[in-house]
Amino acid sequence: MADAVTRNKSSVAGPLTGTKLILAAILIGMGNFLVVLDTTIANVSIPHIAGSLGVSVTQATWVITSYAVAEAITVPLSGWLARRFGGQRVFISAYLAFAVLSLLCGLSGTLGMLIAGRVLLGLAGGMIIPLSQTLLLRIFPPEKAAVATIIWAMTTTVAPIAGPILGGTLSDNVGWEWIFFINVPIAAAGGLGLLYLFRGQIETVIKGHIDMVGLALLVIWVGALQIMLDEGRNHDWFAATEIQILAVIAAIGFAAFLIWELTEKHPIINLRIFRHRGFVASAMTYPVAFGAFFATVVLIPLWLQQNMGYTATWAGYAIAFIGIFAVLTSPIIGKAAEKIDPRLIVSIGLMGLGLISVYRMGFTPDMTFLQMAWPMLMTGPFLMMFFIPMTGICMASVDREEQADAAGISNFMRTLGGAFAASLVQTGWTSAARQNQTELVGAMTQGQATIDGMMADGMSHERATAMLSGMVEGQSVMLATLNMFAAIAMCFALGAVLIWFAPKPKGPIDMSGGH
């Protein structure tokens, strides 16, 4: 049956302008900020949650996994949902649901109830991330599309950095429940505010066939892959039967999904947008470069806490320096992206991030907080040089009616890149530390003489042995950290090359859509 196209015209209103436009942009950006914030805010709160609910820390990590899996499933669905029900309707509904579900998560008295709440929270949040990008571009006039891109880029990059700081502060001083309660008034006000501002706005809605098979296959392969990535490092990866099974399910599910969606007349995800070379280049660059960035913000706090003696809060403060110059330089970079080849800006930004990673390869155990913080400060501008033009290239490479699909798929690729990076950097870091420790012990010919010298100075044999072992372990972790910085630098360099596969824009890039 042919699709029927209808329009919501109850009381037609003109485009938003002035104060209403600014307020709508703030509320949309805040929705994206809250959802991305929730991907990291619970990470440092797991011990508090486990102790409060009477479960092990390993069991409590499902609070993180459940949200990530649910979000990964609905992010690529946003294009279909926007066409089927209207982008504004879906966004506002998800926004208000985020408030209600955050309240339920905070009120949870059992782990099962909390995980169920996090699953639903992730399903709602997965719609908000890409649709926030689409709606921002939609409400701003074409000549101000760069402003929309800047707002979305800033909220997407600053939120995961703020998450651990806010989560640790609330959990330590108020209670873990408040990492969810804090969402409630903001999300409720945001959803209701947009409901008022968008009243009477026209939306095209396409009512037709629902691809249930495609939806089921998407849930299966994305769910299996995300659980495999989150739990793999806790089960020694493919040495565990459950991880092997998840990998097989993900591979077969993805192959079946790809075949079905490319042959289905009304696919639930429009994979045909990969016919645009600019979008393909963006989709390749996004996970590589964002994965490298996310690996950095995962690795550095771990190293600072385990090797440098930092508390979780101070490790968070060190990371937070990224946001300062990121916010200050965003308007300048947004303007530059309208006049300069955006591929060049992206490439320079990624090369800058790569050089910062190369600089970090010279880190030593006696570094001060300021020596640690200033490279973070310089990361901000280069990060915006990646994010802002990258978003523009991605959205301008597709037709206007494909923007919601492009936002959903590109954000899915970004999310997947972050998930792979988080798992791989932690696994690689631990493995490299063990290997380095073995090599250091093998190369240490004067070990017994060192212990004897310590004992001659009045130290007991046990204490001397423990001190030497601690020194070797500390050096092995330090070397492993430097190894990871080298791998991250190479990923940034790869991303700087991949973006050049996008065609050269003909004149200033039109970030409002269309090409």
Res. 4 pLDDT band, cuts 50 70 90: very low
Sequence spans of domains, the chain: 12-208, 269-515
* Greater model confidence, 476 or 465: 476
Percent of the chain scoring above 90 in pLDDT: 23
Interhelix angle 62-74/46-53, rounded to 10 degrees, is: 120
Q: Which of 142-146, 241-245, 328-332, 407-411 has the highest mean pLDDT?
A: 241-245
Q: pLDDT digits over 56-96, tens only?
A: 877 777 787 788 778 888 888 888 888 888 889 999 999 99
The fold of 269-515 is Growth Hormone; Chain: A; (1.20.1250)
Instruction: Look over the chain and give the mean of its residue pLDDT values, rounded to a whole number.
Output: 82
Neighbours of 377 (CB within 10 A): 16
Q: pLDDT digits over 115-131, tens only?
A: 899 989 999 998 998 89
Spatial CA neighbour of 359 closest among 343, 341, 377: 377
CA–CA separation, 77 and 270 (whole Å): 9
Q: What contacts 449, CB < 8 A, 6 or more positions away?
A: none
The CATH number of the structural domain formed by 12-208 is 1.20.1250.20
CA–CA separation, 515 and 511 (whole Å): 9
- Predicted confidence at residue 512, as pLDDT, reads 46
- Predicted confidence at residue 9, as pLDDT, reads 44
* Domain 12-208 identical in fold to domain 269-515: yes
Mean pLDDT score, 452-466: 62
What pTM, to 2 d.p., does this model score? 0.80
- Predicted confidence at residue 341, as pLDDT, reads 87
- 456 pLDDT higher than 80: no
Res. 470 pLDDT band, cuts 50 70 90: low
- 463 pLDDT higher than 80: no
CA–CA separation, 379 and 323 (whole Å): 9
Interhelix angle 312-320/145-173, rounded to 10 degrees, is: 160
What tokens does 492 get?
């940034």
Tell me the CA distances in angstroms from 429 to 5, 99, 159, 164, 319, one per residue in order. 53, 37, 25, 20, 19
Tell me the CA distances in angstroms from 172 to 45, 178, 380, one per residue in order. 9, 11, 28
- Predicted confidence at residue 462, as pLDDT, reads 66
Q: Which of 24-28, 133-137, 420-424, 483-487 has the lowest mean pLDDT?
A: 420-424
Q: pLDDT digits over 221-278, tens only?
A: 888 887 888 777 777 788 888 889 999 999 999 999 999 988 888 888 888 888 888 8
Query: Which amino acid appears at position 134 of this protein?
Result: T
